[in-house]
Every structure is written in C-alpha cells, then in structure tokens.
Amino acid sequence: MERPIYIVDAFTSEAFKGNPAAVCPLDTAQPVEWMQQVAAEMNLSETAFLVPREAGDGFELRWFTPAIEVPLCGHATLASAHTLWETGRLAANAEARFHTLSGWLSARQTAQGIEMDFPAMRLEEIAAPPGVAEALRATPHSVWLVRDQRDLEKNYLVELGGEAEVRALQPDFNLMRQQVSKGLIVTAQAEMPGVDFVSRYFATWAGIDEDPVTGSAHCALTPYWVNKLRRHELLGYQASARGGYVRVNLAGDRVVLGGQAVTVVRGSLLS
C-alpha cells in the first residue's frame, strides 16, 4: 500500500534551512514497530505520523526519532500543521488540533506564519551535573533542570556567557553519550540585532547529536528568558548550521511558538 510522505523544513521561510521533519498522514493507526522503522529510514531528527480522530475531533499525532518515540516535538508539529493546510486535509482558516503524549496541542495560521500552543516547562536551578561542562567543553554560567508537565526530567538548560560562546561550541559527543543522560539546551542573550536570545540543542540520549531548530526546547527557553528580560514576546534564534527563528510568547503555563515552514519533498512510502 502506498502512503504519502512529505519532508518539510520548519522554523524557516527558505528551503534547506530550519529543521527538516518527515510528515506521514495516515488513514488508520499503524503499529509502533512500523512507525519506528519508517523514522529510521527517513533518518531525520523527527518523523511525525498523523491519524484523523473520530467525528472530526482533530488528529492523533506521534513523533519518532530514528531511535525512539518522543513525548513532544515542536518542529514536527509545525510541519504537520503546515502539511494539513497545504494538502487541503484541513481548511486554511481551521485550527489544527493534535492529541499527543503531551496532551492537546493546537496550531493556527496567522499573517506571520504558524502559531502553536504548547505547554511551558518548569525550571529548577541546580549545580552543574557531572560531565556537562566536560562534554560541552565550556563553563556554564548557570544550569537548570527542565521538567515537563508530567514532571519528567528530559533536559538541562545551560546558560553560557554570551552568543559567541554558544556559536563556537564544539562538544565532545562521545563523552556526552557516555556521561549525560538528558538533552542539553545551551543558550545566551543574543548580540545579533532584533533577536533576544540564541540557543543550540544537543540530544545524544535520543540519537541526535545536534538538532537544527527545536520547538520543544523553546518551551523551556521561553519562561527562562521572559523572566530574565521581563518581556513576554521574544524572538529566539537557534544557531545551528542550518539555523532558524522561533517567535515566543509566554501565556501563563503555556507558550506560543511561532514560525514558518516550507515543503521540500512530496513522495510515497511503498512498504
């Protein structure tokens, strides 16, 4: 049976920038083993699978890296919403609603692109865990434990001394795989005009050395920088090799993540 699949560059208005995600719309749910095999075949940081819910009640949405299923992914959610509207599976003025492992998420089209409603993460300042500074080859200014809505600990947020230090990082990924069991969100206040903060994200625990642009990381970066800069609407730039911009807004225990997306591949799965 042939099934459509798309590759969408998220958090960018240009092809071959931002973060690529594969999006696979399905008529019915498929086995986890098959979805994991497809994600491994696509070999992108995330492959998203969409299944319509009964009575038009949105879509079931699941995300897989080449190695594991993850509970939250921003760029593949943005790519999924973009695909639904672009292919006519959802009307342009309709809200995209997704039921996920992180609860209900939504997205809507605006004049600036796509805005997504995500949960804000909770932050707790801690001493730098063993291996973090060594793996980053940098001295943290501060380190924070990131907890999601289910109280799961998936990431550390590490602030460095400045944007140049974030951009210059050359981590020891082998050491990171051996000694750091969580993702590392590395950030600093921006020096580039019009941008408030910069970041990079390393997730060797999930089979990803560096993710190009990470929506879920901005669920922690948003409350962190809103608290430091005392403004609710900010612009972040993820300074990976591909790079991408994320507009953020803190709304209580939710964050609004904004960005654009570009489809670069349309094809079919034959197995």
Query: How far is Cα 224 from Cα 242, in angstroms, rounded to an integer?
Result: 24
Enumerate long-range contacts of 89-93, CB under 8 Å, 24 or more apart: 89/25
Element (H, E) at 11: none
Query: And the tokens for 236?
Result: 């972040």
SS3 of 174-232: the string is HHHHHHCCCEEEEEEECCCCCCCEEEEEEEHHHCEEEECCCCCCHHHHHHHHHHHHCCC
Q: What distances in angstroms separate CA 212 from CA 22, 46, 109, 139, 191, one per listed residue?
A: 14, 11, 23, 22, 20
Cα 215 off chain centre by: 3
Told to judge if 46 belongs to the known catalytic residues of this protein, a careful annotator would answer yes
Q: Give how far Cα 87 sits from Cα of 4, 5, 15, 68, 93, Å.
A: 11, 11, 18, 28, 14
3-state secondary structure of 48: strand
Could you say which of 2, 14, 46, 125 is catalytic?
46
* Catalytically active residues, by annotation: 46
